[in-house]
Amino acid sequence: MTRTARAFWLNEPGHGEIRDVTLPDPGEGEVLVRSLYSGVSRGTETLVFRGGVPESQHAAMRAPFQEGDFPGPVKYGYLNVGVVEEGPQALTGRTVFCLYPHQTRYVVPADAVTPVPDAVPAGRAVLAGTVETAVNALWDAAPLVGDRIAVVGGGMVGCSVAALLARFPGVRVQLVDADPKRAETAEALGVGFALPEAAAGDCDLVVHASATEQGLSRSLELLAPEGAVIELSWYGDRRVSLPLGEAFHSRRLTIRSSQVGTVSPARPGRSYADRLALALELLADPALDALVTGESPFEDLPGVMPRLASGEIPALCHRVAYAAS
């Protein structure tokens, strides 16, 4: 019997379609997963959708189960939650997370899926990949008890970082964003909020995730002497100018990059699997539901992606729902 599925492909920048695909039978050590939900991370995926991945970064930006190449045709995505229909007995029937694109069913090695804890609803588990990024960022940042911290950029990654920082004892956490509507998200996450011009300064640490030149410049302005900016933004093919000739040297400020492609060197004993399992455990907190800001059926994805990319649909994580079959 031929197994089939349907997958979302970016044909060329700005234009996607749903294609029929043929699935192999799962072999030994593999699982067949039926998708329940997938998530669109608006920052990275809309950058891919508009063709903004620089040629020099084509290899570095590949998703684990990507097919095709940038700028297209390409099948891209990495936030998928589904049910194992066939595979090892220990996984069959389990809800799992996988770094897989938007597709109704798929076959992957069993070690490519991570069971979702019983305390985490499947619809919230699509956030695991982004919360994993936040975990890695905080391993890099190493916040301390009592720190004064700003998170500049209230997108999906920035809000995930703020949500985790809200659990640290004695810290002052402020989410900074140009959109006043992010105040509602900040309140749901249990952190303060400010527009960029009103943000509290004298910060020991600033996590920057706005992917804008203005946001990074403002992050430097918010630092106390000897403070550090942890840069999470991915700028794609855009260049960024910074005011490094002002107080940058006299105040001994630091800008340090962080990205999820490698486990933080601050945690040399941890694996990718350890980091993802931790992210899923942290998703037991219902406050993180505030990061899912919309939902559409899978079949509507070709029309939804351009609206996400243009900003017509404002979103943190836009969830894609798959019909039961």
Looking at residue 36, its pLDDT comes to: 98
CB 65 within 8 A of CB 108: yes
Let me know if residue 280 belongs to a domain.
no
Residues 98 and 144 in one domain: no
Let me know if residue 264 belongs to a domain.
no
Looking at residue 246, its pLDDT comes to: 79
Residues 250 and 150 in one domain: yes
Closest CA to 32 of 90, 109, 132, 147: 109
Alpha helices (runs of H) in the chain, residue ranges in sequence order: 42-49, 122-125, 128-141, 156-165, 182-189, 213-221, 272-282, 301-310
The residue from 240, 257, 274 where one domain ends is 257
CB 184 within 8 A of CB 117: no
- CATH number reported for the structural domain that contains residue 310 in this entry: 3.90.180.10
* Total domains, the chain: 2
Residue 72 CA to residue 80 CA, distance in Å, equals 21
Residue 182 CA to residue 303 CA, distance in Å, equals 25
Looking at residue 306, its pLDDT comes to: 96
Residues 156 and 197 in one domain: yes
Looking at residue 96, its pLDDT comes to: 98
Q: Is the pTM of this model over 0.85?
A: yes
Looking at residue 123, its pLDDT comes to: 97
Residue 325 CA to residue 173 CA, distance in Å, equals 44
Looking at residue 89, its pLDDT comes to: 96
Let me know if residue 271 belongs to a domain.
no
- CATH number reported for the structural domain that contains residue 204 in this entry: 3.40.50.720
The residue from 237, 257, 277 where one domain ends is 257
Residue 191 CA to residue 187 CA, distance in Å, equals 6
Residues 97 and 151 in one domain: no
Range of the domain at 109: 3-126+288-321
Looking at residue 42, its pLDDT comes to: 78
Residues 122 and 150 in one domain: no
Report the chain's terminal Cα–Cα distance, integer Å: 17
Looking at residue 56, its pLDDT comes to: 87
Looking at residue 41, its pLDDT comes to: 81
Looking at residue 1, its pLDDT comes to: 64
Residues 50 and 87 in one domain: yes
Whether the bond into 243 is cis, omega within 30 of 0: no
Looking at residue 291, its pLDDT comes to: 95
CA distances 234 to 22, 61, 287, Å, are 34, 10, 26
Rg over alpha carbons for the chain, rounded to the nearest Å, is 20
CA distances 143 to 3, 86, 306, Å, are 49, 43, 37
As given in the structure block, the two tokens for residue 143 are: 């916040």
Residue 152 CA to residue 194 CA, distance in Å, equals 10
The residue from 257, 279, 303 where one domain ends is 257
**Encoded amino acid at 111, one letter:** D
Using CA of residue 193, residue 198, residue 202, residue 208, what is the dihedral sign? positive
324 backbone dihedrals φ, ψ, rounded to 5°: -65, 140
pLDDT tens per residue, range 254-290: 999 998 888 999 999 999 999 999 999 999 999 999 9
132 backbone dihedrals φ, ψ, rounded to 5°: -60, -40
Residues 76 and 164 in one domain: no
Give the residue ranges of the chain where pLDDT is below 70: 1, 325
Looking at residue 243, its pLDDT comes to: 86
Residues 116 and 140 in one domain: no
CB 151 within 8 A of CB 169: no
**What is the SS3 assignment for 306?**
helix
CB 209 within 8 A of CB 233: yes
Residues 182 and 224 in one domain: yes
Residues 249 and 298 in one domain: no
